[in-house]
Amino acid sequence: MKTLVCFGDSLTARHEGKDKPQLTEKLAFQLPTFIVFNAGVSANTTKDALKRIEKDVLTHNPDLVTVLFGSNDAAVHKKVALSTYEANLLKITRLIGPDKTILITPPPVDETLQPNRQNSELAKYADAVKRVSKETDSYLIDFYTELYSRPHYKELLVGVLNDGLHFGDAGYDILASLITKKIAEIKPIEEQKFD
């Protein structure tokens, strides 16, 4: 069995009214050859992530790690400067190892329900994730564009809280399938290494 750790904030951690975190529950079902650990902590920024990466991620000796931060870093009331966010993501990626890191851009929000977050700002943080992925040659999932490009994306952001940030089942279905698809792309590459 391989090990996948999902590292992030509340978007990774949320149960959405179910017994277990929705993201890792869906991934465990879709990825039967992986043991999936949830290392999501609500309200976390990349600064918080660096303080707990050793204990929550690296101790699992993971084969792959999804990294989804930015929704809090970009928020007015928690603001982590864009340059600091990018530097923190670089550190996180290097600590995990670029060949094991799947960076995920933070998703858009429904601005009518989210006074502390703006999509124009989140887009800048999403671009920073892309730059880190390119610089480190790590894997990338552009979750921001994937959702924002859909005409009714706000409907996908409706979760138990209905706050325009924490999505429900439909959002987790999309995110889990994007991760599963990315891992399917990575696995053949890994298999070639052993030929």
Per-residue pLDDT, 187: 72
Strands 34-40 and 2-8: parallel
Q: Which domain holds residue 20?
A: 2-193
Angle, in degrees to the nearest 10, between helices 169-193 and 22-30: 40
Looking at the 3D structure of the chain, how many domains does it have?
1
Residues 36 and 24 sit within 8 Å (Cβ to Cβ): yes
pTM of the predicted model as reported, rounded to 2 decimal places: 0.96
180: domain CATH number? 3.40.50.1110
Residue ranges of alpha helices (H) inside 18-97 are 22-30, 46-56, 82-96
Residue ranges of alpha helices (H) inside the chain are 10-13, 22-30, 46-56, 82-96, 119-136, 143-148, 153-156, 169-193
Structure-derived torsion over alpha carbons of residues 184, 33, 44, 92, reported in degrees to the nearest 10 = -60
Q: What is the pLDDT along the chain (195 residues), one digit of tens a residue?
A: 999 999 999 999 999 999 999 999 999 999 999 999 999 999 999 999 999 999 999 999 999 999 999 999 999 999 999 999 999 999 999 999 999 999 999 999 999 999 999 999 999 999 999 999 999 999 999 999 999 999 999 999 999 999 999 999 999 999 999 999 999 999 766 665 544
